[in-house]
Structure 1
Amino acid sequence: MQVSVENTSALERRMTIAVPAERVETEVNKRLQQTARRAKVPGFRPGKVPMSVIRQRYEDAARQEAFGDLVQASFYEAVVEQKLNPAGAPAVEPKSFEKGKDLEYIATFEVYPEFTVAGFDSIAVERLSADVADADLDNMLEVLRKQNIRFEAVERAAQNEDQLNIDFVGKIDGEAFAGGSAKGTQLVLGSGRMIPGFEEGLVGAKAGEERVLNLAFPEDYQNLDLAGKTAEFTVTVNSVSEPKLPELNEEFFAQFGIKESGVDGFRAEVRKNMERELRQAIKTKVKNQVMDGLLAANPIEVPKALLENEVNRLRVQAVQQFGGNIKPEQLPAELFEEQAKRRVVLGLIIAEVVKQNELKPDEARVREMIQEMASAYQEPEQVIAWYYKNDQQLNEVRSVVLEEQVVDTVLQKATVTDKSVSYEEAVKPAQAPAAD
């Protein structure tokens, strides 16, 4: 087999492959013999059809089948021989495929970039440290109470933070419009759920009262048919309910699966969860800084095939997350290209750091991570056992641990500054990384 390779760009390769005619004919004849054993031809018993008849009827199909298989096999042999690492399937252009002649074709494809990860010492990382203070714990308990707020009916006029049960009909130029009417809707005043002026217009209303609100849809309203238009809403208030914070008692604790441990036990459990969240937040911020540093220090070209695959993955994730009747391919690729490029480049860099430093997942850290995740459940031992019985989930944890080991490897040479901050600052989400 003859192989020649041309570099048409930094990553693209144009490979010309010639497969000897003898090998081609051997493959064609093999398929014809297989066909002869099962072919049903009028006038002949199965398996007794003359090869000349078989060849006349089936040779073209056998030759096409052989072409596909030979291209696949010879391409693999050629990239191994040339020590190439394709980043996607090749585009195949036949040059010659005539009976009795060599099979020749051109395969155009991209290869993975070859590079050495460098610049660890140019990376600067700010590593935060914080504690969960009693005041932080008290604030979290208030958050939990507000998240579990209850509403009780009252006879007074509505005020902000009250929940109203309402019926409403919206009209534009005297005509009802799609999505402008509802019955029995629960609305908390001040939530900002409705268009400007709607909730404000119901402050002071009482159960049984009807109010007419003349409001304008914002110019940037998501429904372009309604944007900027003025509508009249006739609103009937069915009931007014005021918010009631739950007491810190056994009934409240039971909602979180904590029983018979009182306020002190509940506070201890919440503190433990906050400390877990704090550790993860600090770890994530350090990791993001390391990854940003690796990206800045190691600019590499991305194979188009890998970028397209990642864009398609992100499209599918977006549809799964937001639902709707849209198909993934209908989402514009440019919406995902920056994120896809970042993920692909980081994937290549991380893989190279692992290779250069001969890293393998630390199984002790794997178990520690699983135990940490399991501690948030009522039956942690069952969760741990579940992970170790499911290879896919276990390997996902191993991948996360391996990334942490990559971060640790970089931190050994990076410039690290420690900074003490409050709990709130430490757990506050970091800004989104800048696009490359």
Structure 2
Amino acid sequence: MAVNVETLEKLERKMTLTLPVETIQNEVGARLRKLARTVKMDGFRPGKVPMGIVTQRYGYSVQYEVMNDKVGEAFFNAANEAKLRVAGQPTITEKDGAPEGQMAFDAVFEVFPDVKIGDLATAEVEKATAEVTDAAVDRTLDILRKQRRSFAQRAQGAPVEDGDRVTVDFAGKIDGEPFEGGKAEDFQFVVAEGQMLKEFEDAVRGMKVGESKTFPLAFPADYHGKDVAGKTADFMVTVQKIEAAHLPEVNDQLAKSLGVQEGTVEGLRADIRKNLEREIKFRLVARNKQAVMDALLAQAELDIPKSSVQAEIDRMIESARADLKARGIKDADKAPIPDDVFRPQAERRVRLGLTVAELVRAASLQAKPEQIKAQVEELAASYEKPDEVVRYYYADNRRLADVEAMVIENNVTEHVLGQAKVTEKALGFDELMGQQG
């Protein structure tokens, strides 16, 4: 086998392969003879079909199969011999003008790039920090109490206040005509929790049982009900019932009802703080990792293989269609999604993946078994039965591979933070929790 490799542009290469015709023919003959021993055909006993008929029926498909296998094998061997890191699949076409007794093929393919990472000491990274405050613990405690609140009917003549659960009848009209979804009886909602539009809540606030009121309500332009979006309706509302909310006291009984082992208020607050600290840690790790990856990309020089970008786009489109299908969208698997929708994101992912891989190789940042074990245990810590979660991860190599990738990203983050110009920024608890983690 003779090999010739030439550079077409940037990462694109062309390799010329030659194979003896005899090699192809011998393999085709061997496979047809093997097939003849088992093939079934009307009028013949198994294994007794004449070779001529077997060749006539299956010769073309076997020839195609052998050509694919042999040329693919030749390409793989030649690429290894030339120490080429091939990205994606080659495009192989037969070539005219081969010497007698030979077949020639052109294989056009891409190689992975050389990645140059600049001096990380010049990279600038903003590292976020945050702490769990007593106020944050108090607010979480209030949410837990609210989840366990009870409601009791207010005294006759008492007006609606924020936090009350009201039962109302209402009917709305636009230009004097009723509209779908504009009428209900015995409808319940809690005032000031955003379940209803502000104008509706403002109208009900201060009303008493048995009282009716008519008021205008302007639907926002982006309202989910397209038929009424941007229009103004006239509503009539009548209050049927008003119930005041009663929150459970913060005491040992509440702690026990929430499953706190010690069954004390101090234990409950400590439990809340521990959970918030775990959540804050995950959010800080995600935010700082993003900042590090942005800084790393800014320091990297590389060309990206088109085939890798296309493969990533195909994966993202497949995932998007699966998501549409899960939402019950009809014919989601045929949804027309242009490549360009995902191209910028796919290019970034490929660029980042190659850059991280190069840094991991150059700085020996591979995940160690003890790091993977610690990460699994940390992921399992928030569950009721951590040991079962640990076993769940170790029972599947794919799940462990996901954890390994997480550890490698953490290693890269720590490595870059240890070398770059780092500016710390203290974030308020609410500011961090309000961001997407």
The normalised TM-score by structure 1 is 0.82
Provide closer, same or farther for how the CA distance between residues 189 and 308 of structure 1 changes in structure 2, counting only shifts above 3 A: farther
Task: Give the Cα separation in 2 of the matches to 1:182 and 1:339.
Answer: 45
Which is further off, 275-284 or 328-337? 328-337
Alignment of 1:30-109 (within 5 A): 30-40=30-40, 44-95=44-95, 102-109=102-109
Partner of 1:240: 242
Do residues 342 (structure 1) and 348 (structure 2) align? yes
Following superposition, the deviation at residue 293 of structure 1 comes to 0.6
CA–CA separation in structure 2 for the residues paired with 1:305 and 1:167: 61
3-state SS of 1:47 partner: coil
C-alpha distance in 2, partners of 1:386/1:42? Answer: 52
- Answer yes or no: is the 8 Å Cα contact 2:172–2:233 preserved in 1: yes
TM alignment of 1:12-411, pairs within 5 A = 12-40=12-40, 44-95=44-95, 102-154=102-154, 155=156, 156-166=158-168, 168=170, 170-173=172-175, 176-180=178-182, 185-195=187-197, 197-207=199-209, 211-233=213-235, 235=237, 237-315=239-317, 320=323, 323-325=327-329, 327=332, 329-331=335-337, 333-411=339-417
Q: What is the alpha-carbon distance in structure 2 between the residues aligned to residue 147 and residue 184 of structure 1?
A: 23
Describe the SS at the equivalent of 2:189. strand
Change (3 A) 1:323 1:48: closer
Identify unmatched segments of 5+ residues in structure 2. Answer: none
The answer on whether the counterparts of 1:90 and 1:108 sit within 8 Å (CA) in structure 2 is: yes
Whether the 8 Å CA contact 1:157–1:205 is kept in 2: the answer is yes
Cα gap change, 1:337/1:373 in structure 2, threshold over 3 Å: closer, same or farther? Answer: same
Q: CA deviation at 1:263?
A: 0.5
Are the counterparts in 2 of residues 362 and 402 from structure 1 also a CA contact under 8 Å? no
Whole-Å Cα distance in 2 between the matches of residues 194 and 139 of structure 1? 23
Cα pair distance change 1:312/1:55, threshold 3 Å = closer
Aligned-pair identity in percent equals: 37
C-alpha deviation, 1:262, in angstroms:
0.8
Which shifted more, 333-342 or 286-295? 333-342
Alpha-carbon distance in 1 for matches of 2:44, 2:97 = 32
Q: Is the 8 A contact 2:174 2:232 kept in 1?
A: yes
Q: Write out per-residue CA displacement over residues 329-368 of structure 1, whole angstroms, 9 at most, x where no aligned residue.
A: 5455444443333333222211111111223313333333
1:193-232 Cα shifts (integer Å, max 9, x gaps): 4455333333344455555554333234455544323444
Relative to structure 1, the CA distance from residue 48 to residue 129 in structure 2 (aligned partners, 3 Å threshold; closer, same or farther) is closer
Report the secondary structure of 1:246's partner residue.
coil
Using the alignment, how far apart are the partners of 1:182 and 1:101 within structure 2?
86
Q: How many residues align?
A: 430
Q: 1:72 aligns to what SS in structure 2?
A: helix
Structure 1 gaps of 5+ residues are none
Alpha carbons 1:128, 1:426 under 8 Å: kept: no
Residue 340 of structure 1 aligns to a residue in which SS? helix
Flag the 1:15–1:158 CA change in 2: closer, same or farther, 3 A: farther
Work out the CA distance in 1 between the residues paired with 2:237 and 2:287: 48
Q: Would the alpha carbon gap of residues 266 and 91 (structure 1) be closer, same or farther in structure 2, given more than 3 Å must change? A: same
1: CA distance, partners of 2:338 / 2:161: 44
CA spacing shift, 1:137–1:390, aligned 2, 3 Å: same
Does the 8 Å CA contact 2:377/2:390 hold for their aligned counterparts? yes
Q: Is the 8 A contact 1:150 1:244 kept in 2?
A: yes
What's the CA shift for 1:266? Answer: 0.9
Q: Is the 8 A contact 2:253 2:263 kept in 1?
A: no
- Contact in 1 for aligned 2:367/2:408 (Cα 8 Å): yes
- 2 CA distance for matches of 1:85 and 1:416? 35
TM-score (normalised: structure 2): 0.82
**Given that residues 282 and 426 in structure 1 are in contact (C-alpha distance below 8 angstroms), is that contact kept between their aligned partners in structure 2?**
no
- Are the structure 2 counterparts of residues 171 and 430 from structure 1 closer, same or farther at C-alpha, using a change threshold of 3 Å? closer
Say whether the 8 Å CA contact 2:160–2:204 is kept in structure 1.
yes
CA offset at residue 178 of structure 1?
Answer: 4.7
Change (3 A) 1:187 1:307: farther
Partner SS for 1:361: coil
SS in 2 for 1:158: coil
**Once the two structures are superposed, what CA deviation does each residue of 1:353-398 show, in whole Å capped at 9, x if it has no partner?**
1111223313333333333333333444444444444433333222
